Amino acid sequence: MIDLHSHTNESDGTFTPFELVKLAGERGVEALAISDHDTFAGYDQALPEARKSGLDLVCGIELSTRVPGTKSYTVHLLGYFLRQPPPEEFRAWLDELIDGRRDRNRRLIASLRDKGVDIELAEVERLGRTLTGRPHFARILIDKGYATNFDEAFRRYLGESAPTYVERYAPYVAEAIKRVLEAGGVPVLAHPIRLGLRDAAAEEAFISELRDAGLRGIEVFHSDHRPADMERYGGIARKYNLLVTGGSDFHGDVKPHISLGTGYHENLNIPMAVLNNLRAAA
């Protein structure tokens, strides 16, 4: 069993890289990709530990991207670096994305204060390590009694439909695909179910456009996918000659119902062949 999508506390997960490697061992995960948002810090720290414990650790990234002509439509793109570590230029580009988050976080604090929500940037940033994201804001909002759970925090304050929502800089999806390819990575569409496209035809047309932009794979197996979704995305992968990937999107305690390796209510059991195919194509 393998898991090609997970987050550490270097982005918005709650497990340290060390704890995540240990958990993979306990749960019988043979290969694990750390695919933090916008940073390789978790992967870099986990690597020595993974070598010691015999875990096959894969270097990944997850990028939030936008689609031209849409207001706040975001597409998550995974990148897998299977042959060589990502080059310095790519890491420098990630630093720019993290700067964009800092700027967003300052504006988000101001926007919340305008609506009478009394929280400070410093206390939110204290929860983050390499970067501070909206899930960290959610934790503070809950701690301070402004929301009772994550859903409410996003619905009332942080989500795209909330009155206090602020955007952050995000590259266009085609640019992100190009950057991953130039860095020697394999660009993969993350959890396509979250595109939220109304019908299967619109979904397929969109994925086909991404393929024309250089997309190489699609995350068929994911905690959010029902069996019918996995079947549909598997069919699209075959039809468009896209690689198949999959992972739980483990975030630790902030998404407690998702288990490393096995996903949501054991909906995942991803075979090593998926990684072998990815490596062969990289």
232 touches Fe ion (CB under 5 A): no
Compose the 219-238 pattern: x for residues touching ligand AMP by CB under 6 A, - for all others. Answer: --------------------
Q: Which of residues 7-26 bind ligand AMP (CB under 6 A)?
A: 12
Q: How far apart are CA 188 and CA 214, in angstroms?
A: 10
- In single-letter form, the type of residue at position 193 comes to I
Q: Which residue is nearest to Zn ion (CB)?
A: 249
Q: How many CB atoms lie within 10 A of CB 247?
A: 28
Q: Return the residue of 13, 17, 135, 261 that touches ligand AMP, per CB under 6 A.
A: 135
Q: How far is CA 179 from CA 126, 164, 170, 259, in A?
A: 31, 31, 13, 31
Q: How many CB atoms lie within 10 A of CB 122?
A: 8
Instruction: Round to the nearest angstrom and report the end-to-end CA distance of the chain.
Output: 21
Q: How far is CA 45 from CA 37, 39, 60, 89, in A?
A: 15, 11, 13, 20
Residue 36 interacting partner from Zn ion, ligand AMP, Fe ion, none (CB closer than 5 to 8 Å by kind): none
Q: Which residue is nearest to ligand AMP (CB)?
A: 133
136 touches Fe ion (CB under 5 A): no
Q: Which residue is nearest to Fe ion (CB)?
A: 76
Ramachandran angles phi, psi of 98, nearest 5°: -70, -35
261 touches ligand AMP (CB under 6 A): no
Q: Which of residues 35-74 bind Zn ion (CB under 5 A)?
A: 62
Ramachandran angles phi, psi of 237, nearest 5°: -60, -45
**Count of positions on this chain that bind ligand AMP (CB under 6 A):** 11
**Count of positions on this chain that bind Fe ion (CB under 5 A):** 3
133 touches ligand AMP (CB under 6 A): yes
Residue 134 interacting partner from ligand AMP, Fe ion, Zn ion, none (CB closer than 5 to 8 Å by kind): ligand AMP
249 touches Zn ion (CB under 5 A): yes
Pick between residue 154 and residue 221 the one whose CB is nearest to ligand AMP.
154
Pick between residue 81 and residue 250 the one whose CB is nearest to Fe ion.
250
Under 8 Å CB-to-CB from 25, ≥6 apart: which residues? 53, 55
Is residue 84 within 8 Å of residue 58, measured between CB atoms? no
219 touches Zn ion (CB under 5 A): no
Containing H/E element for 189?
Answer: strand 186-189
* CA dihedral (197, 100, 124, 112) positive or negative: negative
**Count of positions on this chain that bind Zn ion (CB under 5 A):** 2
Pick between residue 38 and residue 249 the one whose CB is nearest to Zn ion.
249
- In single-letter form, the type of residue at position 178 comes to K
Pick between residue 233 and residue 250 the one whose CB is nearest to ligand AMP.
250
Q: How far apart are CA 251 and CA 248, in angstroms?
A: 9
134 touches ligand AMP (CB under 6 A): yes
40 touches ligand AMP (CB under 6 A): no
Q: How far apart are CA 117 and CA 282, in angstroms?
A: 47
| Chain residues in the site for ligand AMP (CB under 6 A) | 12, 37, 64, 133-135, 150-151, 154, 159, 168
| Chain residues in the site for Zn ion (CB under 5 A) | 62, 249
